[in-house]
Amino acid sequence: MDAPRSGAGETTEAARIIGAAFGVLARHWTLPQADIGPIELGFTPLPALFGAERFLTAMLARQQAATPGLDEKGAAAFFISEYSNLLGILAAVPFLSHGFVPDLSAANCALSAQLPPDEAPHVRLRLLKAGGVTDRAPAPADASFRLVDHDGLCEALSEVLEAHMAPLIDSLHARTDLPRRAMWRLVGDAVAMRFLEASQRLGCEAAAKEDVMAALMRPGSPFANRQLHFFDVEIRADTPPREVLARRTFRARGGCCRFYTAPGGSLCTSCVLVKPEERRRRIEARMRAELGLHSLPPEPTDPLDPTTRLPEGDA
């Protein structure tokens, strides 16, 4: 992939590094497409797009069409999760592959999106200027790139994700009254999941889990909550010597997408409203089925267990 051009029409070192990371993204993931350049026909600056009533109406209607009976709060939760998945992989790949956080603030981004009903979506996110933060020396000579230590890199990740999503969360809160805190939890869930996915593809899982949790759980961050974390599930053979047959890492969510509020809906396996024991049982059952093993009998559960309730203010 050629290095993208800066808004001034010149190839900068910062743009070259960002372009290389976006090349890794393009090789492994089809969405979103990402580049650097000026606003062109078909692109809308994110602050304007996120504040446009027509855009919000269309996005909520799209979610409701796919899940009939879903109310506007549920549609907002679905849309936040869907969009945050795109943002999450866009942030994860440069961080994990090249050790930098690009300037993904809404003010530095424009979006082009075609969402045909019967075709795969086409989403392009464009950085208007090449810039960001890195912990790898030497940093690009461009003044737009700042050299920090690794803790500073994790802090920059948290800050730029917040700067990207804040305008959309404010607009959806005003439109649907879905609590901001509930939406921030959904963003954190998506980012954590995408970092896990990218790290498994790029071979850096242990470090990635530590770094993304350091970013999301930073004191004062709107992402921080006690429920979001990673955990491992191990399946052993039923007979001695009970060797390990499979081991996988999963993300326990801190938020709820509200699918259970739709007609015929239910709680997702990783939902914060599902008790940890039940979540693990469901995952183990699925993994055992994939391995051709019989299911274990379910353990009794207490429907009044307080861990099944969402923390106050996030319903």
Residue 9: what pLDDT? Answer: 43
Instruction: Kindly give the interhelix angle for 150-176 and 205-216, rounded to the nearest 10 degrees.
Output: 60
Single-letter amino acid, residue 258: R
CA distance 17 to 154: 19
Residue 120: what pLDDT? Answer: 76
What pLDDT digit, counting tens, does each position of 148-194 carry?
A: 999 999 999 999 999 999 999 999 999 999 999 999 999 999 999 99
Q: Do the beta carbons of residue 308 and residue 272 sit within 8 Å?
A: no
Q: Which residue is listed with tokens 């923390």? A: 311
CA distance 164 to 180: 14
CA distance 26 to 151: 28
> What would the two tokens of residue 277 be?
């024991």
The ranges of the chain annotated as CATH 1.10.510 are: 1-217
Taking the model in full, what pTM does it have? 0.89
Half-sphere CA count of 87, side-chain side, radius 13 A: 31
Is the pLDDT reported for residue 313 higher than 60? no
Task: Return phi, psi of residue 153, to 5°.
Answer: -65, -45
- The domain at 1-217 falls in which architecture? Orthogonal Bundle (1.10)
Per-residue pLDDT band for 117 (boundaries 50, 70, 90) equals confident
The gap from C-alpha 269 to its chain's centroid, in whole angstroms, comes to 17
CA distances from 154 to 12, 158, 191 (A): 24, 6, 13
What pLDDT digit, counting tens, does each position of 209-264 carry?
A: 999 999 999 999 999 999 999 999 999 988 888 999 999 999 999 999 999 999 99
